[in-house]
Amino acid sequence: MPLHDVGYRPWKGRLREPGYAARVIAGTGIRLAWQSRWLRRAVLFAWTPAIVFAVALFAFEKAVEDGVLAGLQSGAARSSDGLGILGTFLGDTLGGGLPATTPQEVAVARRLVWSRMLLAFMRAPQAVLLAVVIGLVAPPLISRDARAKAWLVYFTRPLRGWEYVLGKAAVLMVIVALITMAPAVMLWFLGVIVSPSVWVAVVTWDLPLRIIAAGAAVAVPAVLLALAFSALTAESRIAAFAWFATWVACWITHAALTGADRMAAAKPTAPAAGRTAAATALENPFDDEEIPAREPPRRRRGPARFQWLSWAAGLDRSIDRWSWLSLYHAFGVVQAWIFGIERRPAAIIPPVISLSLVSLASFALLVRRVVAPTRA
């Protein structure tokens, strides 16, 4: 039986634009990750602190509306008018340096408080939760493909290596946006809604853009490092252990070094000319006056119990010279710089260099591991 028309058939379909494969990989990865019950709970939990911070913004705007902002700065109204701990924290945030009597001064104070509250929201609850979620989602993204030999399926199609990396990174970027950027933008929106004046949106119009920039500054190094760990092994458990071990080890190292600096700074000075209390007593044998014992330091009320909140808001003006060793603390300094709270080069440059080197090294390692299976 003769054969007819055995040549190639003409293509009648529609060619997809470049990068469409990355979208398919990202969409599939997001659907698979969203099936995890723990991820859904973590995302829901990430949105709940926004309610508390919205209450703090409402308390500040109420103080502005009632005309007690000057008293809030001086300390007279920090525990009154129903503000309580929030009033104390807001008063410490303002610092008392601004009289806040004219509309221009009130606008400056409003911008300062809003920036610090949004920074504290992104540094304290969101950054810690982000590390946990990335550690649960990122490890199997590439290691699972390596274990199942999925490279043979992926790269038999006209798929480029950068599209594969971009698709996997987009999975984590979407999750990072759901945990950090979206709740912070919603917090700003809630603060504008509960404010008595629409002028708040005009004064703080650029804060949503700073939120997106601060979230991206955290997302890019964290996503690249997590994917690099996932690409180094075919076992998801090993990649997850490497991720959490890096965070914990860097945090402990930073805590140890900063603790040593505090101990060195708080070291008590020796008595003059090396004299001791016993020597002084021998020189004054007829002095029977009892030396009163030093009273133990009283426990501070108010925000001292929430020192993490004050620290996250950038109230501690000391330069953390070991922040570049810890991902969490380096992220905090960079975010404070983006919000305009930290402007000292000595505090900004080391974390920026550290995060840049981590991003470049992770990207180079990731590309090398992804392109290697496609080589002949």
- 221-238: pLDDT as tens digits: 999 999 999 988 888 899
Give the Cα separation of 352 and 302 in Å (integer): 34
pLDDT above 70 (res 340): yes
Average pLDDT over residues 272-292: 45
Helices marked H in 78-206 — which ranges?
84-94, 103-121, 127-137, 139-147, 151-154, 161-176, 182-194, 199-203
User: What digits encode the pLDDT tens for the residues 90-121?
Assistant: 555 555 444 556 667 777 778 888 888 888 88
Mean pLDDT of 17-42: 82
Per-residue pLDDT band at 375 (split at 50, 70, 90): low
For all residues of the chain together, what is the average pLDDT?
76
Higher per-residue confidence, 154 vs 165: 165
CA distance 188 to 332: 19
- CA distance linking residue 142 with residue 231, whole number of Å: 5
Residue 15, judged by CB atoms within 10 A of its CB (0-12, 13-18, 19+), counts as exposed
CA angle 298, 95, 193 (to 5 degrees): 110
> Taking residues 79-95, what's their average pLDDT?
50
- Cβ–Cβ < 8 Å for 134, 242: no
Question: What burial letters (b/e) apply to 105-140, b meaning 16+ CB within 10 Å?
Answer: ebbebbbbbbbbbbbbbbbbbbbebbbebbbbbbbb
| % of the chain residues with pLDDT over 70 | 70
At residue 208 the predicted structure's pLDDT band, cuts being 50, 70 and 90, is very high
Mean pLDDT, residues 248-273 taken together = 79
Contact of 251 with 328, CB cutoff 8 Å? yes
- Res 35: pLDDT: 86
**Residue 5 region by backbone torsions, left for phi larger than 0, else alpha for psi between -120 and 50, else beta:** left
Report helix, strand or coil for 80.
coil
What pLDDT is attached to residue 310? 67
User: Stretch 270-279: mean pLDDT, rounded?
Assistant: 48
